[in-house]
């Protein structure tokens, strides 16, 4: 039994990796990608870089938009320090 229809090249795998970030892979695409990643070290590295970038972007978003409670906590902290000194 041939499974050549499951085989994809690196370029295709990397396209699927970027689609995967937005969770837009169907069952077949994700199967093809998993299979390719098992065989291909350079695409596995690429997947790790995608993960790293995704986390970095998430962190940047958090820095740009701090949760509303944060200023409150820091003003309480300043108050506590002022009371202690
Ligand atoms: Zn590859």
2/11 Cα distance (integer angstroms): 22
pLDDT of 78 above 60: yes
Ligand 1 centre distance from Cα of residue 61 (Å):
30
Ligand 1 centre distance from Cα of residue 72 (Å):
49
On whether the pTM is more than 0.75, the answer is no
Looking up tokens 């940047």 gives: 60
Ligand 1 centre distance from Cα of residue 2 (Å):
20
What pLDDT score was predicted for residue 5?
75
pLDDT in tens, 11-67: 999 999 989 887 889 999 999 999 999 999 999 999 999 889 888 988 888 887 666
Ligand 1 centre distance from Cα of residue 62 (Å):
33
Ligand 1 centre distance from Cα of residue 31 (Å):
14
For residue 57, which of 22, 13, 16, 7 has the smallest C-alpha distance? 22
Give CA separation, 33 vs 15, 22, 41, 48, in Å: 10, 15, 13, 14
What pLDDT score was predicted for residue 36?
96
What pLDDT score was predicted for residue 74?
65
Q: Which of 35-44, 64-73, 76-85 has the lowest mean pLDDT?
A: 64-73
**Do the Cβ atoms of 9 and 32 come closer than 8 Å?**
no
Ligand 1 centre distance from Cα of residue 37 (Å):
7
């Amino acid at each position: 039994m041939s499974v050549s229809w499951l085989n994809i090249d690196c370029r295709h795998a990397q396209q699927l990796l970027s689609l995967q970030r937005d969770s837009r892979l169907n069952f077949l695409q994700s199967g093809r990608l998993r299979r390719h990643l098992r065989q291909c070290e350079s695409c596995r590295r690429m997947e790790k870089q995608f993960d790293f970038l995704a986390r970095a972007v998430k962190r940047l978003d958090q820095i740009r938009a701090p949760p509303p409670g944060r200023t409150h906590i820091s003003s309480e902290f300043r108050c506590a320090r002022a009371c202690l000194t």
